[in-house]
Amino acid sequence: MATSQPAAFPDGFLWGASTAAHQVEGNNVGSDFWQAENDGSWGLPDRSGDACDSLHRWPEDLDIAHDLGLNAYRFSIEWARVVPAPGHPSPAMLDHYRRMIEGCGQRGLTPVVTLHHFTSPAWLRAAGGWTSEKAIAHFTEYVRAVLPILDGVPWVCTINEPNMLALMAARRKHGHDGSAPSFVPPDPDVSLALTRAHEEARELLASVPGLRSGWTVANQNVQDHGAGPDRTAEMSYLLDDQYIDVAKGDDFLGVQAYSRLRTGEQGVIAPGPADRRTMMGWEYYPRALEDALRHTAARLGGSTPLLVTENGIATSDDDERIAYTNEAVLGLARALADGIDVRGYLHWSLLDNYEWGSWEPTFGLVAVDRTTFRRTVKPSARWFGRLAKSPAATLRQGAAS
């Protein structure tokens, strides 16, 4: 039975925030996503452009995280920048990311580094993408190039949300005219390629002393609302569980959760007019994180440590962001109290950024002016900083308000 009292957070627990290179750096011109933004092939409404200009302003971003009292920062290395042409890694870009890693250490921030966060080089897309003949070899070549700068990095995510990458690939096959069915399973060929890429990267990363590697899964929290247990279990396996299973034996698994997916007799039940929703159109469901942690731990049999690599809410109401996060972290604390091995919580996101086709949803603890790039720390960021410094007291206060 689940306890109703949150446990104390263990020593060394990571409290941080996350970003992704393409979403914040700007002008990622060699990537497949930049290409699709500008040629219209994926039907994206907005361009990333300069994004948050974090390619140049990353020291300011790290200063903000440090000044808030956080002890961790998750960011991604951009494959398209590091390897702008096959077989020709860029020493200058490797040095750039090395400086970011060192910058985290100088500020007392534990770097959590992601090697692939949705974007790939445009040259890989031109060759056929993840299912092309040499895709795995190209990825391992990239990982080998990055290995020398990862010395001293304790957490490395190989691939971010492989289930979403495979799902997006499947949806693109249906086009952008809205004719796709309510449930489209992830592309199995892309899933297999990503699994192989992860396994190859894991073997290479094992050579770095003290480095833990794993990938992250976007937990959809598939729940039975009339579909029946068999169909619900099938959908959960296709969307989440097959990717969780890959993590058995990994050093950790990154858990990422925002909402839930309800299944009915006719398929996916979309949030209706009576449901509270976020700016993404997702159901407002702060319990998503606790559900994902419990489901993932049960699936893995408690054998693999968990790290919350993303959780947050797209909202223009900063009080709502605080309320959502408070309830989500209370759920995390309950999971800890029941013995689930969770090593940290990384909020999505540090900055309001480019949300994969749109600038409208705001997930950030920090607002960014898109013309001047001025960073404005929100009240939710100050609250989150207090949470990092004194989690039990902050959660009690938040739950009482």
pLDDT at 399 over 80: no
* Domain assignment of residue 352, given as a range: 14-400
Question: How far is the C-alpha of 298 from the C-alpha of 296, rounded, in Å?
Answer: 5
Supply 206's token pair.
């094992």
Contact call for residues 291 and 260 (beta carbons, < 8 A):
yes
In a domain, 227, yes or no: yes
Residue with tokens 């989500």: 328
Task: Please indicate, yes or no, if residue 3 is contained in any of the structural domains.
Answer: no
Q: Could you tell me if residue 2 is inside a domain?
A: no
> Above 90 in pLDDT, residue 3?
no
* Least trusted range by pLDDT, from 60-64, 114-118, 178-182: 178-182
**Is the per-residue pLDDT at 295 higher than 60?**
yes
Peptide bond into 213 cis (omega under 30): no
Mean pLDDT of 182-203: 96
Question: Tens of pLDDT along 126-135?
Answer: 999 999 999 9
241 contact partners, CB below 8 Å, separation of at least 6: 299
* 249 located within any domain: yes
Q: Has residue 8 been placed in a domain?
A: no
Which residue out of 78, 161, 283, 310 is catalytically annotated?
161
What's the confidence (pLDDT) of residue 181?
65
CA distance 145 to 207: 13
d(CA 38, CA 25): 17
- Domain assignment of residue 264, yes or no: yes
- For residue 93, the domain's CATH number is 3.20.20.80
The count of domains in the chain is 1
Residue 4 included in any domain: no
Asked if residue 5 has pLDDT above 60, the reply is no
The answer to whether residue 310 scores a pLDDT higher than 70 is: yes
**290 part of the active site:** no
Average pLDDT over residues 210-233: 98
Q: Which of 117-121, 235-239, 240-244, 395-399 has the lowest average pLDDT?
A: 395-399
Name the band, by pLDDT with cuts 50, 70 and 90, for residue 358: very high
At residue 183 the predicted structure's pLDDT band, cuts being 50, 70 and 90, is confident
Residue 204 sits at φ, ψ, to 5 deg, of -70, -40
CA nearest neighbour of 122 among 158, 86, 91, 92? 86
β-bridge mates for residue 254, sequence order: 216, 307
- β-pairing, 375-377 with 366-368? antiparallel
Domain contains 7? no
The single-letter code of the amino acid at 143 is V
Beta-bridged to residue 351, according to DSSP, are 366
Classify each residue of 64-80 as buried b or exposed e, where b means 16 or more C-beta atoms within 10 Å of its C-beta.
bbbebbbbbbbbbbbbb
- Asked if the model's pLDDT at residue 180 lies above 90, the reply is no
Instruction: Please write down the HEC assignment for all residues of the chain.
Output: CCCCCCCCCCCCCEEEEECCHHHHCCCCCCEHHHHHHHHCCCCCCCCCCCCCCHHHHHHHHHHHHHHHCCCEEEEECCHHHHCCECCECCHHHHHHHHHHHHHHHHCCCEEEEECCCCCCEHHHHHCCHHHCCCHHHHHHHHHHHHHHHHCCCCEEEEEECHHHHHHHHHHHHCCCCCCCCCCCCCCHHHHHHHHHHHHHHHHHHCCCCCCEEEEEEEECCEEECCCCHHHHHHHHHHHHHHHHHHCCCCCCEEEEECCCEEEECCEEECCCCCCCECCCCCECCCCHHHHHHHHHHHHHCCCCCEEEEECCCCCCCHHHHHHHHHHHHHHHHHHHHCCCCEEEEEEECCECCCCCCCCCCCCCCEEECCCCCCEEECHHHHHHHHHHHCHHHHHHHHHHC
Name the CA dihedral angle for 15, 114, 45, 370, rounded to a multiple of 10 degrees. 60
The whole-angstrom separation of Cα 56 and Cα 131 is: 34
